Structure 1
Amino acid sequence: MADLPEVLGPLLREARARLAAASVDDPALDARLIVEHFSGTSRTQAIADPQRGIGRDAVAAIDAALRRRAGGEPVHRILGYREFYGLRLSLSPETLEPRPDTETLVEAILPFVRAVAAREGQCRILDLGTGTGAIALALLSAEPAATAIGVDIAEGALATATGNAGRIGLADRFAALQSDWFSKVSGLYHVIAANPPYIPSRDIENLQDEVCDFDPHSALDGGADGLDPYRTIAAEAAGFLKPEGRIAVEIGHTQRVEVTDIFRLAGYALAGAFRDLGENDRVLVFQRGKP
Protein backbone atom coordinates (compact mmCIF):
# COMPACT_ATOMS: atom_id res chain seq x y z
CA MET A 1 0.00 0.00 0.00
CA ALA A 2 1.31 3.46 -0.94
CA ASP A 3 2.73 5.71 1.76
CA LEU A 4 0.36 8.32 3.14
CA PRO A 5 1.07 11.99 2.36
CA GLU A 6 2.66 14.08 5.10
CA VAL A 7 0.49 17.12 4.31
CA LEU A 8 -2.91 17.51 6.01
CA GLY A 9 -5.26 18.04 3.05
CA PRO A 10 -3.95 15.21 0.84
CA LEU A 11 -3.63 13.00 3.93
CA LEU A 12 -7.33 13.42 4.69
CA ARG A 13 -8.26 12.65 1.08
CA GLU A 14 -6.13 9.52 0.98
CA ALA A 15 -7.46 8.33 4.32
CA ARG A 16 -11.02 8.79 3.09
CA ALA A 17 -10.27 6.90 -0.13
CA ARG A 18 -8.75 3.97 1.76
CA LEU A 19 -11.76 3.61 4.03
CA ALA A 20 -14.18 3.96 1.11
CA ALA A 21 -12.32 1.19 -0.71
CA ALA A 22 -12.78 -0.96 2.39
CA SER A 23 -16.57 -0.29 2.31
CA VAL A 24 -16.59 1.52 5.66
CA ASP A 25 -20.07 2.99 6.26
CA ASP A 26 -19.02 6.63 6.68
CA PRO A 27 -15.48 6.89 5.34
CA ALA A 28 -15.32 10.69 5.38
CA LEU A 29 -16.27 10.98 9.05
CA ASP A 30 -14.08 8.12 10.23
CA ALA A 31 -11.09 9.38 8.21
CA ARG A 32 -11.47 12.83 9.72
CA LEU A 33 -11.76 11.46 13.28
CA ILE A 34 -8.66 9.31 12.85
CA VAL A 35 -6.52 11.98 11.18
CA GLU A 36 -7.51 14.69 13.67
CA HIS A 37 -6.96 12.45 16.67
CA PHE A 38 -3.52 11.12 15.76
CA SER A 39 -2.21 14.33 14.17
CA GLY A 40 -3.52 16.71 16.82
CA THR A 41 -5.21 18.84 14.18
CA SER A 42 -8.73 20.22 13.85
CA ARG A 43 -11.34 20.54 11.14
CA THR A 44 -10.70 24.28 11.04
CA GLN A 45 -7.00 23.71 10.38
CA ALA A 46 -7.79 21.28 7.56
CA ILE A 47 -9.86 23.99 5.86
CA ALA A 48 -7.61 26.97 6.59
CA ASP A 49 -4.23 25.29 6.23
CA PRO A 50 -4.48 22.16 4.04
CA GLN A 51 -0.73 22.28 3.33
CA ARG A 52 0.07 21.95 7.04
CA GLY A 53 2.83 19.39 7.54
CA ILE A 54 2.20 16.24 9.58
CA GLY A 55 5.08 14.47 11.33
CA ARG A 56 6.14 10.98 10.30
CA ASP A 57 5.22 9.46 13.68
CA ALA A 58 1.69 10.84 13.39
CA VAL A 59 1.40 9.58 9.81
CA ALA A 60 2.53 6.11 10.93
CA ALA A 61 -0.08 6.13 13.71
CA ILE A 62 -2.76 7.21 11.22
CA ASP A 63 -1.72 4.43 8.84
CA ALA A 64 -2.02 1.83 11.60
CA ALA A 65 -5.41 3.18 12.64
CA LEU A 66 -6.72 3.13 9.09
CA ARG A 67 -5.65 -0.50 8.74
CA ARG A 68 -7.56 -1.37 11.91
CA ARG A 69 -10.66 0.51 10.73
CA ALA A 70 -10.51 -1.12 7.30
CA GLY A 71 -10.35 -4.45 9.12
CA GLY A 72 -13.67 -3.77 10.83
CA GLU A 73 -12.66 -2.37 14.21
CA PRO A 74 -15.03 0.45 15.28
CA VAL A 75 -13.49 3.88 14.99
CA HIS A 76 -14.14 4.80 18.63
CA ARG A 77 -12.40 1.62 19.81
CA ILE A 78 -9.39 2.76 17.82
CA LEU A 79 -9.54 6.27 19.26
CA GLY A 80 -10.09 4.89 22.75
CA TYR A 81 -12.98 7.15 23.64
CA ARG A 82 -16.58 8.02 22.75
CA GLU A 83 -18.55 11.21 23.27
CA PHE A 84 -21.71 10.69 25.33
CA TYR A 85 -24.04 13.45 26.50
CA GLY A 86 -21.28 15.97 25.92
CA LEU A 87 -18.73 13.97 27.92
CA ARG A 88 -15.62 12.30 26.50
CA LEU A 89 -15.56 8.80 27.96
CA SER A 90 -12.62 6.44 27.69
CA LEU A 91 -13.36 2.90 26.54
CA SER A 92 -11.79 -0.42 27.47
CA PRO A 93 -12.25 -4.02 26.31
CA GLU A 94 -14.60 -4.69 29.24
CA THR A 95 -16.96 -1.78 28.52
CA LEU A 96 -19.80 -1.46 26.07
CA GLU A 97 -19.33 1.47 23.72
CA PRO A 98 -21.96 4.00 24.88
CA ARG A 99 -24.29 4.95 22.05
CA PRO A 100 -26.61 7.89 21.38
CA ASP A 101 -29.73 5.76 22.00
CA THR A 102 -28.74 5.49 25.66
CA GLU A 103 -28.89 9.27 26.01
CA THR A 104 -32.67 8.69 25.85
CA LEU A 105 -32.44 7.14 29.32
CA VAL A 106 -30.59 10.16 30.68
CA GLU A 107 -33.20 12.53 29.28
CA ALA A 108 -36.04 10.34 30.54
CA ILE A 109 -34.97 10.25 34.18
CA LEU A 110 -33.19 13.61 34.49
CA PRO A 111 -36.34 15.65 35.32
CA PHE A 112 -37.04 13.28 38.23
CA VAL A 113 -33.41 13.52 39.41
CA ARG A 114 -33.63 17.31 39.38
CA ALA A 115 -36.98 17.33 41.16
CA VAL A 116 -35.68 15.08 43.94
CA ALA A 117 -32.52 17.16 44.30
CA ALA A 118 -34.55 20.36 44.53
CA ARG A 119 -36.88 18.88 47.11
CA GLU A 120 -34.41 16.95 49.28
CA GLY A 121 -31.09 18.62 48.53
CA GLN A 122 -29.67 15.40 47.08
CA CYS A 123 -30.49 12.54 44.75
CA ARG A 124 -28.88 9.12 45.16
CA ILE A 125 -28.45 7.13 41.94
CA LEU A 126 -27.55 3.47 41.47
CA ASP A 127 -26.28 2.68 37.97
CA LEU A 128 -26.35 -1.08 37.38
CA GLY A 129 -23.91 -2.40 34.78
CA THR A 130 -22.21 0.97 34.67
CA GLY A 131 -19.55 0.12 32.07
CA THR A 132 -17.85 3.41 31.18
CA GLY A 133 -20.02 5.14 33.79
CA ALA A 134 -21.95 6.83 30.98
CA ILE A 135 -25.42 7.01 32.53
CA ALA A 136 -24.29 7.91 36.04
CA LEU A 137 -21.75 10.50 34.91
CA ALA A 138 -24.16 12.13 32.48
CA LEU A 139 -26.73 12.54 35.27
CA LEU A 140 -24.13 13.85 37.70
CA SER A 141 -22.88 16.35 35.13
CA ALA A 142 -26.43 17.67 34.73
CA GLU A 143 -27.39 17.77 38.44
CA PRO A 144 -24.75 19.02 40.90
CA ALA A 145 -26.66 17.73 43.93
CA ALA A 146 -26.73 14.12 42.70
CA THR A 147 -24.39 11.32 43.73
CA ALA A 148 -24.02 7.91 42.12
CA ILE A 149 -22.69 4.43 42.66
CA GLY A 150 -21.74 2.59 39.48
CA VAL A 151 -22.07 -1.18 39.77
CA ASP A 152 -20.38 -3.65 37.45
CA ILE A 153 -19.18 -7.21 37.70
CA ALA A 154 -16.13 -6.48 35.52
CA GLU A 155 -13.14 -5.05 37.36
CA GLY A 156 -11.82 -3.46 34.17
CA ALA A 157 -15.08 -1.65 33.57
CA LEU A 158 -15.04 -0.22 37.09
CA ALA A 159 -11.49 1.03 36.60
CA THR A 160 -12.56 2.70 33.35
CA ALA A 161 -15.62 4.31 34.95
CA THR A 162 -13.54 5.56 37.89
CA GLY A 163 -10.99 7.03 35.51
CA ASN A 164 -13.70 8.74 33.51
CA ALA A 165 -15.21 10.24 36.66
CA GLY A 166 -11.82 11.64 37.62
CA ARG A 167 -11.08 13.16 34.22
CA ILE A 168 -14.50 14.80 34.06
CA GLY A 169 -14.15 16.19 37.59
CA LEU A 170 -16.89 14.05 39.18
CA ALA A 171 -14.77 11.72 41.32
CA ASP A 172 -16.12 13.23 44.54
CA ARG A 173 -19.69 12.26 43.63
CA PHE A 174 -19.12 8.89 41.94
CA ALA A 175 -18.09 5.59 43.50
CA ALA A 176 -17.55 2.24 41.77
CA LEU A 177 -18.69 -1.05 43.28
CA GLN A 178 -17.91 -4.55 42.03
CA SER A 179 -21.10 -6.53 42.38
CA ASP A 180 -23.19 -9.10 40.52
CA TRP A 181 -26.28 -6.89 40.21
CA PHE A 182 -27.45 -6.17 43.79
CA SER A 183 -25.35 -8.80 45.60
CA LYS A 184 -22.91 -6.29 47.21
CA VAL A 185 -25.17 -3.21 47.10
CA SER A 186 -26.39 -1.53 50.29
CA GLY A 187 -28.52 1.50 51.06
CA LEU A 188 -31.54 3.11 49.44
CA TYR A 189 -31.62 5.09 46.20
CA HIS A 190 -33.94 7.57 44.58
CA VAL A 191 -33.09 6.23 41.11
CA ILE A 192 -32.01 2.82 39.90
CA ALA A 193 -30.86 3.02 36.29
CA ALA A 194 -29.63 0.30 33.96
CA ASN A 195 -28.77 -0.39 30.37
CA PRO A 196 -28.65 -4.15 30.90
CA PRO A 197 -27.69 -6.86 28.42
CA TYR A 198 -30.87 -7.52 26.43
CA ILE A 199 -29.86 -9.48 23.34
CA PRO A 200 -31.10 -13.11 23.28
CA SER A 201 -28.08 -15.42 23.46
CA ARG A 202 -28.82 -17.01 20.10
CA ASP A 203 -28.90 -13.63 18.33
CA ILE A 204 -25.50 -12.31 19.38
CA GLU A 205 -23.62 -13.89 16.49
CA ASN A 206 -26.07 -12.24 14.08
CA LEU A 207 -25.26 -8.72 15.28
CA GLN A 208 -23.11 -6.37 13.21
CA ASP A 209 -19.48 -7.47 13.25
CA GLU A 210 -18.49 -4.19 14.91
CA VAL A 211 -20.74 -5.10 17.86
CA CYS A 212 -20.29 -8.87 17.97
CA ASP A 213 -16.52 -8.79 17.58
CA PHE A 214 -15.63 -5.80 19.76
CA ASP A 215 -18.28 -5.20 22.44
CA PRO A 216 -17.97 -7.54 25.45
CA HIS A 217 -20.54 -10.32 25.17
CA SER A 218 -21.26 -10.08 28.88
CA ALA A 219 -22.71 -6.61 28.19
CA LEU A 220 -24.89 -7.96 25.37
CA ASP A 221 -26.14 -11.41 26.43
CA GLY A 222 -29.51 -11.18 28.16
CA GLY A 223 -30.11 -14.92 28.37
CA ALA A 224 -32.29 -17.19 26.27
CA ASP A 225 -34.98 -14.57 25.63
CA GLY A 226 -32.96 -11.44 26.40
CA LEU A 227 -35.03 -10.67 29.49
CA ASP A 228 -33.10 -12.28 32.36
CA PRO A 229 -31.56 -9.01 33.66
CA TYR A 230 -34.99 -7.36 33.84
CA ARG A 231 -36.29 -10.27 35.92
CA THR A 232 -33.36 -9.84 38.32
CA ILE A 233 -33.81 -6.09 38.63
CA ALA A 234 -37.59 -6.31 39.08
CA ALA A 235 -37.28 -9.06 41.68
CA GLU A 236 -34.57 -7.44 43.81
CA ALA A 237 -34.85 -3.67 43.40
CA ALA A 238 -37.45 -3.13 46.11
CA GLY A 239 -34.86 -3.60 48.84
CA PHE A 240 -32.77 -0.73 47.47
CA LEU A 241 -35.35 1.75 46.15
CA LYS A 242 -36.77 4.59 48.20
CA PRO A 243 -40.60 4.48 48.43
CA GLU A 244 -41.10 7.27 45.86
CA GLY A 245 -38.13 6.20 43.76
CA ARG A 246 -37.95 5.31 40.06
CA ILE A 247 -36.37 2.54 38.03
CA ALA A 248 -35.25 3.47 34.51
CA VAL A 249 -34.15 0.76 32.07
CA GLU A 250 -33.10 0.72 28.46
CA ILE A 251 -34.79 -2.00 26.40
CA GLY A 252 -34.57 -3.59 22.99
CA HIS A 253 -37.04 -1.99 20.62
CA THR A 254 -39.35 -5.04 20.60
CA GLN A 255 -39.34 -5.65 24.38
CA ARG A 256 -41.70 -3.01 25.75
CA VAL A 257 -44.63 -5.33 26.48
CA GLU A 258 -42.54 -8.12 27.98
CA VAL A 259 -40.46 -5.84 30.21
CA THR A 260 -43.55 -3.93 31.37
CA ASP A 261 -45.20 -7.23 32.32
CA ILE A 262 -42.11 -8.38 34.26
CA PHE A 263 -42.12 -5.21 36.38
CA ARG A 264 -45.93 -5.17 36.76
CA LEU A 265 -45.89 -8.69 38.18
CA ALA A 266 -43.18 -7.55 40.63
CA GLY A 267 -45.39 -4.72 41.88
CA TYR A 268 -44.34 -1.79 39.70
CA ALA A 269 -46.38 0.55 37.54
CA LEU A 270 -45.17 2.08 34.28
CA ALA A 271 -44.44 5.76 34.88
CA GLY A 272 -43.17 6.60 31.41
CA ALA A 273 -42.13 5.13 28.06
CA PHE A 274 -39.66 6.91 25.78
CA ARG A 275 -38.51 6.48 22.19
CA ASP A 276 -35.05 7.09 20.77
CA LEU A 277 -34.17 9.33 17.84
CA GLY A 278 -35.18 6.55 15.45
CA GLU A 279 -38.66 6.47 17.02
CA ASN A 280 -38.04 3.02 18.50
CA ASP A 281 -39.17 2.08 22.02
CA ARG A 282 -35.98 2.50 24.06
CA VAL A 283 -36.54 3.39 27.75
CA LEU A 284 -39.13 2.45 30.38
CA VAL A 285 -39.47 4.14 33.76
CA PHE A 286 -41.23 2.37 36.63
CA GLN A 287 -42.49 3.33 40.07
CA ARG A 288 -43.88 1.19 42.84
CA GLY A 289 -47.47 0.30 42.06
CA LYS A 290 -50.31 1.38 44.28
CA PRO A 291 -51.44 -1.32 46.70
Structure 2
Amino acid sequence: MRDALRTAAHQLATISETPRLDAELLMAHALGITRDALILSRLDDPTPPGFDDLLIRRLAHEPVAYITGTRDFWTISLHVAPGVLIPRPDSETLIEAAVARFARTPGPRSVLDLGTGSGALLLAALAEWPEATGIGIDASETALAIARDNAARLGMSDRARIVHGGWSGAGGPHDLILCNPPYIGTDEPLPREVVAWEPASALFAGADGLDDYRAIAAVLRPQLAPRGVACVEIGASQADDVGALFAAQGFTVSLARDLAGRARCLVLT
Protein backbone atom coordinates (compact mmCIF):
# COMPACT_ATOMS: atom_id res chain seq x y z
CA MET A 1 0.00 0.00 0.00
CA ARG A 2 2.92 2.39 0.51
CA ASP A 3 3.72 2.22 -3.20
CA ALA A 4 0.08 2.46 -4.20
CA LEU A 5 -0.43 5.55 -2.05
CA ARG A 6 2.67 7.20 -3.45
CA THR A 7 1.55 6.56 -7.03
CA ALA A 8 -2.01 7.68 -6.31
CA ALA A 9 -0.85 10.89 -4.65
CA HIS A 10 1.27 11.68 -7.71
CA GLN A 11 -1.75 11.19 -9.99
CA LEU A 12 -4.08 13.18 -7.77
CA ALA A 13 -1.70 16.13 -7.58
CA THR A 14 -3.05 17.25 -10.96
CA ILE A 15 -6.59 17.73 -9.60
CA SER A 16 -6.35 18.08 -5.81
CA GLU A 17 -4.69 20.40 -3.33
CA THR A 18 -4.49 17.48 -0.85
CA PRO A 19 -3.43 14.52 -2.99
CA ARG A 20 -1.82 12.41 -0.26
CA LEU A 21 -4.72 12.91 2.11
CA ASP A 22 -7.20 12.02 -0.63
CA ALA A 23 -5.29 8.84 -1.41
CA GLU A 24 -5.15 7.80 2.25
CA LEU A 25 -8.87 8.43 2.78
CA LEU A 26 -9.74 6.36 -0.28
CA MET A 27 -7.43 3.55 0.81
CA ALA A 28 -8.89 3.51 4.30
CA HIS A 29 -12.39 3.43 2.81
CA ALA A 30 -11.45 0.49 0.58
CA LEU A 31 -10.26 -1.35 3.69
CA GLY A 32 -13.24 -0.34 5.82
CA ILE A 33 -11.01 1.19 8.51
CA THR A 34 -10.08 4.67 9.70
CA ARG A 35 -7.24 6.65 8.18
CA ASP A 36 -5.43 6.53 11.53
CA ALA A 37 -5.60 2.74 11.56
CA LEU A 38 -4.30 2.62 8.01
CA ILE A 39 -1.29 4.79 8.78
CA LEU A 40 -0.46 3.11 12.08
CA SER A 41 -0.65 -0.54 11.13
CA ARG A 42 -1.59 -1.40 7.54
CA LEU A 43 0.77 0.34 5.13
CA ASP A 44 2.77 -2.82 4.45
CA ASP A 45 -0.33 -4.87 3.59
CA PRO A 46 -1.37 -5.66 0.00
CA THR A 47 -3.46 -3.01 -1.74
CA PRO A 48 -7.18 -3.91 -1.52
CA PRO A 49 -8.83 -4.64 -4.88
CA GLY A 50 -11.40 -1.85 -4.59
CA PHE A 51 -8.86 0.95 -4.31
CA ASP A 52 -8.25 1.39 -8.04
CA ASP A 53 -11.96 1.95 -8.74
CA LEU A 54 -12.15 4.56 -5.99
CA LEU A 55 -9.09 6.30 -7.40
CA ILE A 56 -10.65 6.43 -10.88
CA ARG A 57 -13.72 8.13 -9.41
CA ARG A 58 -11.57 10.73 -7.65
CA LEU A 59 -9.54 11.38 -10.80
CA ALA A 60 -12.85 12.17 -12.49
CA HIS A 61 -13.21 14.99 -9.91
CA GLU A 62 -15.82 13.28 -7.74
CA PRO A 63 -15.36 14.68 -4.21
CA VAL A 64 -13.78 12.33 -1.68
CA ALA A 65 -16.67 12.89 0.72
CA TYR A 66 -19.19 11.62 -1.84
CA ILE A 67 -17.01 8.60 -2.60
CA THR A 68 -16.59 7.61 1.04
CA GLY A 69 -20.02 8.88 2.12
CA THR A 70 -18.60 10.58 5.21
CA ARG A 71 -17.23 13.92 6.32
CA ASP A 72 -15.86 14.90 9.73
CA PHE A 73 -17.04 18.26 11.03
CA TRP A 74 -16.22 19.82 14.40
CA THR A 75 -16.50 16.86 16.83
CA ILE A 76 -18.90 14.75 14.77
CA SER A 77 -18.82 12.54 11.67
CA LEU A 78 -21.56 13.01 9.11
CA HIS A 79 -23.03 11.03 6.24
CA VAL A 80 -22.97 13.04 3.01
CA ALA A 81 -24.11 12.24 -0.53
CA PRO A 82 -24.85 14.02 -3.81
CA GLY A 83 -27.67 16.47 -3.30
CA VAL A 84 -26.25 17.99 -0.13
CA LEU A 85 -23.41 20.47 0.29
CA ILE A 86 -20.22 18.96 1.70
CA PRO A 87 -19.40 20.62 5.07
CA ARG A 88 -16.15 22.60 4.99
CA PRO A 89 -13.73 23.32 7.83
CA ASP A 90 -14.35 27.03 7.18
CA SER A 91 -17.90 26.58 8.46
CA GLU A 92 -16.56 25.47 11.83
CA THR A 93 -15.85 29.19 12.34
CA LEU A 94 -19.57 29.59 13.10
CA ILE A 95 -19.39 27.04 15.91
CA GLU A 96 -16.20 28.62 17.24
CA ALA A 97 -17.90 32.03 17.28
CA ALA A 98 -20.92 30.60 19.09
CA VAL A 99 -18.72 28.86 21.67
CA ALA A 100 -16.93 32.16 22.33
CA ARG A 101 -20.23 33.99 22.63
CA PHE A 102 -21.69 31.54 25.16
CA ALA A 103 -18.48 31.09 27.17
CA ARG A 104 -19.06 31.15 30.93
CA THR A 105 -22.80 30.62 30.43
CA PRO A 106 -24.92 27.45 30.44
CA GLY A 107 -25.08 27.79 26.67
CA PRO A 108 -28.04 28.08 24.31
CA ARG A 109 -31.18 26.12 25.05
CA SER A 110 -32.69 26.49 21.59
CA VAL A 111 -30.74 26.32 18.33
CA LEU A 112 -32.00 27.05 14.81
CA ASP A 113 -30.05 26.07 11.70
CA LEU A 114 -31.37 27.81 8.59
CA GLY A 115 -30.47 25.87 5.45
CA THR A 116 -29.32 22.87 7.45
CA GLY A 117 -28.10 20.71 4.54
CA SER A 118 -26.46 17.64 6.06
CA GLY A 119 -27.30 18.96 9.54
CA ALA A 120 -23.65 19.80 10.16
CA LEU A 121 -24.05 23.08 12.04
CA LEU A 122 -27.10 22.05 14.04
CA LEU A 123 -25.72 18.68 15.10
CA ALA A 124 -22.29 20.12 15.91
CA ALA A 125 -23.98 22.69 18.16
CA LEU A 126 -26.10 20.03 19.88
CA ALA A 127 -22.95 17.95 20.43
CA GLU A 128 -21.32 21.01 22.01
CA TRP A 129 -24.29 21.76 24.29
CA PRO A 130 -25.91 18.47 25.35
CA GLU A 131 -28.82 20.19 27.11
CA ALA A 132 -29.89 22.10 24.00
CA THR A 133 -32.53 21.19 21.45
CA GLY A 134 -32.77 22.49 17.92
CA ILE A 135 -34.48 22.76 14.58
CA GLY A 136 -32.85 22.32 11.19
CA ILE A 137 -34.70 23.80 8.22
CA ASP A 138 -34.09 23.21 4.53
CA ALA A 139 -36.04 23.50 1.29
CA SER A 140 -34.43 20.36 -0.20
CA GLU A 141 -36.08 17.02 0.53
CA THR A 142 -32.78 15.27 -0.23
CA ALA A 143 -30.99 17.39 2.36
CA LEU A 144 -33.75 16.82 4.91
CA ALA A 145 -33.47 13.05 4.52
CA ILE A 146 -29.69 13.16 5.00
CA ALA A 147 -29.96 15.50 8.00
CA ARG A 148 -32.53 13.24 9.67
CA ASP A 149 -30.29 10.24 9.02
CA ASN A 150 -27.34 12.06 10.58
CA ALA A 151 -29.39 13.02 13.63
CA ALA A 152 -30.35 9.36 14.05
CA ARG A 153 -26.77 8.14 13.55
CA LEU A 154 -25.58 10.53 16.25
CA GLY A 155 -28.37 9.64 18.67
CA MET A 156 -29.88 13.12 18.48
CA SER A 157 -33.27 12.44 16.90
CA ASP A 158 -34.99 13.35 20.17
CA ARG A 159 -33.19 16.72 20.29
CA ALA A 160 -33.03 17.71 16.62
CA ARG A 161 -36.19 18.38 14.62
CA ILE A 162 -35.55 18.50 10.86
CA VAL A 163 -38.30 20.24 8.91
CA HIS A 164 -39.04 21.61 5.47
CA GLY A 165 -39.03 25.39 5.19
CA GLY A 166 -37.23 28.56 4.21
CA TRP A 167 -35.46 31.52 5.72
CA SER A 168 -38.50 32.50 7.81
CA GLY A 169 -37.79 29.58 10.13
CA ALA A 170 -40.20 27.64 12.32
CA GLY A 171 -41.10 28.63 15.84
CA GLY A 172 -38.81 30.45 18.17
CA PRO A 173 -37.34 32.78 19.15
CA HIS A 174 -34.03 30.95 19.48
CA ASP A 175 -30.92 31.56 21.58
CA LEU A 176 -28.57 30.59 18.73
CA ILE A 177 -29.19 30.81 15.00
CA LEU A 178 -26.69 29.28 12.60
CA CYS A 179 -26.83 29.82 8.86
CA ASN A 180 -24.60 28.95 5.91
CA PRO A 181 -26.64 30.21 2.95
CA PRO A 182 -25.71 30.15 -0.74
CA TYR A 183 -23.35 33.06 -1.41
CA ILE A 184 -21.62 32.44 -4.73
CA GLY A 185 -22.32 34.79 -7.64
CA THR A 186 -23.76 33.02 -10.66
CA ASP A 187 -20.76 33.90 -12.85
CA GLU A 188 -18.05 33.18 -10.29
CA PRO A 189 -15.68 30.35 -11.25
CA LEU A 190 -15.64 27.27 -9.05
CA PRO A 191 -13.54 24.09 -9.02
CA ARG A 192 -14.90 21.37 -11.28
CA GLU A 193 -15.53 19.00 -8.38
CA VAL A 194 -17.77 21.63 -6.77
CA VAL A 195 -19.79 22.89 -9.71
CA ALA A 196 -20.21 19.45 -11.31
CA TRP A 197 -21.16 17.57 -8.16
CA GLU A 198 -22.57 19.76 -5.39
CA PRO A 199 -26.12 21.17 -5.55
CA ALA A 200 -26.35 24.54 -7.30
CA SER A 201 -29.20 25.54 -4.97
CA ALA A 202 -26.75 25.44 -2.05
CA LEU A 203 -24.07 27.42 -3.87
CA PHE A 204 -25.42 30.25 -6.02
CA ALA A 205 -27.28 33.35 -4.86
CA GLY A 206 -27.81 35.65 -7.80
CA ALA A 207 -25.41 37.74 -9.83
CA ASP A 208 -23.68 39.28 -6.80
CA GLY A 209 -24.07 36.34 -4.42
CA LEU A 210 -26.18 38.40 -2.01
CA ASP A 211 -29.76 37.41 -2.89
CA ASP A 212 -30.21 35.05 0.04
CA TYR A 213 -28.63 37.47 2.51
CA ARG A 214 -31.18 40.08 1.48
CA ALA A 215 -33.99 37.62 2.17
CA ILE A 216 -32.53 36.46 5.48
CA ALA A 217 -31.87 39.96 6.80
CA ALA A 218 -35.52 40.87 6.30
CA VAL A 219 -36.88 37.99 8.40
CA LEU A 220 -34.17 37.11 10.94
CA ARG A 221 -34.89 39.48 13.84
CA PRO A 222 -38.18 37.86 15.03
CA GLN A 223 -36.46 34.45 15.08
CA LEU A 224 -33.70 35.56 17.49
CA ALA A 225 -34.21 35.70 21.28
CA PRO A 226 -33.50 39.09 22.94
CA ARG A 227 -30.09 37.98 24.24
CA GLY A 228 -29.44 35.52 21.46
CA VAL A 229 -26.82 35.48 18.74
CA ALA A 230 -26.89 34.59 15.06
CA CYS A 231 -23.76 33.32 13.31
CA VAL A 232 -23.98 33.66 9.53
CA GLU A 233 -21.33 32.41 7.12
CA ILE A 234 -20.08 34.78 4.42
CA GLY A 235 -17.68 34.72 1.50
CA ALA A 236 -14.24 36.11 2.19
CA SER A 237 -14.92 39.40 0.37
CA GLN A 238 -18.52 39.94 1.51
CA ALA A 239 -18.16 41.25 5.07
CA ASP A 240 -18.93 44.89 4.30
CA ASP A 241 -21.83 44.29 1.92
CA VAL A 242 -23.53 41.61 3.99
CA GLY A 243 -22.83 43.39 7.27
CA ALA A 244 -24.58 46.48 5.90
CA LEU A 245 -27.68 44.45 5.07
CA PHE A 246 -28.01 43.21 8.66
CA ALA A 247 -27.03 46.54 10.22
CA ALA A 248 -29.88 48.14 8.26
CA GLN A 249 -32.23 45.75 10.07
CA GLY A 250 -30.98 46.91 13.48
CA PHE A 251 -28.43 44.19 14.19
CA THR A 252 -25.11 44.82 15.90
CA VAL A 253 -22.57 43.20 13.61
CA SER A 254 -19.16 41.80 14.46
CA LEU A 255 -16.81 39.57 12.50
CA ALA A 256 -15.17 36.19 13.09
CA ARG A 257 -12.30 34.96 10.93
CA ASP A 258 -11.42 31.45 9.85
CA LEU A 259 -8.08 29.74 10.48
CA ALA A 260 -6.62 31.37 7.37
CA GLY A 261 -7.54 34.80 8.70
CA ARG A 262 -10.30 35.37 6.15
CA ALA A 263 -13.60 37.01 7.05
CA ARG A 264 -15.94 34.03 7.41
CA CYS A 265 -18.72 34.66 9.92
CA LEU A 266 -20.91 37.59 10.87
CA VAL A 267 -21.90 37.53 14.53
CA LEU A 268 -25.26 39.28 14.90
CA THR A 269 -26.94 40.45 18.08
Structure with the greater alpha carbon radius of gyration: 1
1:145 aligns with 2:131: yes
Q: Residue in 1 aligned with 2:224?
A: 241
Query: Structure 2, unaligned stretches of length 5 or more?
Result: none
1:254 to 237, 244, 256: 237
Q: Could you tell me how far 1:86 is from its partner in structure 2?
A: 2.3
1:19 aligns with 2:2: no
Name the CA shift for 1:43/1:249 in 2 (closer, same or farther; >3 Å): closer
1:211 to 194, 197, 219: 194
1:85 aligns with 2:67: no
2:178 to 182, 187, 193: 193
1:73 aligns with 2:56: no
Q: Residue in 2 aligned with 1:37?
A: 29
Q: Residue in 2 aligned with 1:3?
A: none
Give the Cα–Cα distance (whole angstroms) in 2 for the partners of residues 149 and 200 of structure 1.
28
Q: Please list, as runs of the form range in 1=range in 2, the aligned pairs for 1:75-224 lying within 5 A after superposition.
A: 75-113=64-102, 117=106, 123-182=109-168, 185-203=170-188, 206-224=189-207
Given that 2:111 and 2:174 are in contact with CA atoms closer than 8 Å, whether structure 1 keeps it comes out as yes
Deviation track 1:140-159 (CA, whole Å, cap 9, x = no partner) reads: 11111111100000011011
Give the Cα–Cα distance (whole angstroms) in 1 for the partners of residues 178 and 15 of structure 2.
37
Deviation track 1:37-64 (CA, whole Å, cap 9, x = no partner) reads: 111345555554544345xxx51x2121
Given that 1:92 and 1:156 are in contact with CA atoms closer than 8 Å, whether structure 2 keeps it comes out as no
Q: Residue in 2 aligned with 1:4?
A: none
Name the CA shift for 1:239/1:51 in 2 (closer, same or farther; >3 Å): closer
Q: Could you tell me how far 1:180 is from its partner in structure 2?
A: 2.2
The one-letter code of the counterpart of 2:182 is: P
Q: Could you tell me how far 1:185 is from its partner in structure 2?
A: 1.6
Given that 1:95 and 1:215 are in contact with CA atoms closer than 8 Å, whether structure 2 keeps it comes out as yes
The one-letter code of the counterpart of 2:114 is: L
Q: Could you tell me how far 1:92 is from its partner in structure 2?
A: 1.9
Name the CA shift for 1:154/1:115 in 2 (closer, same or farther; >3 Å): farther
- Quick check: which one's helix share is greater? 1
Q: Could you tell me how far 1:126 is from its partner in structure 2?
A: 0.8
Give the Cα–Cα distance (whole angstroms) in 2 for the partners of residues 65 and 49 of structure 1.
18
Given the two structures, how large is their TM-score scaled by the length of structure 2? Answer: 0.91
Give the Cα–Cα distance (whole angstroms) in 2 for the partners of residues 156 and 112 of structure 1.
32
Give the Cα–Cα distance (whole angstroms) in 2 for the partners of residues 177 and 25 of structure 1.
36
Deviation track 1:215-272 (CA, whole Å, cap 9, x = no partner) reads: 11100111221112111111112222222222210001111111111111111111x3
Deviation track 1:20-78 (CA, whole Å, cap 9, x = no partner) reads: 4x554332211111111111345555554544345xxx51x212110011111121221
Name the CA shift for 1:23/1:231 in 2 (closer, same or farther; >3 Å): closer
Given the two structures, how large is their TM-score scaled by the length of structure 1? Answer: 0.85
Deviation track 1:172-220 (CA, whole Å, cap 9, x = no partner) reads: 21110100221x62232112210110111222xx111121111111001
Query: Structure 1, unaligned stretches of length 5 or more?
Result: 1-7
Give the Cα–Cα distance (whole angstroms) in 1 for the partners of residues 161 and 69 of structure 2.
22
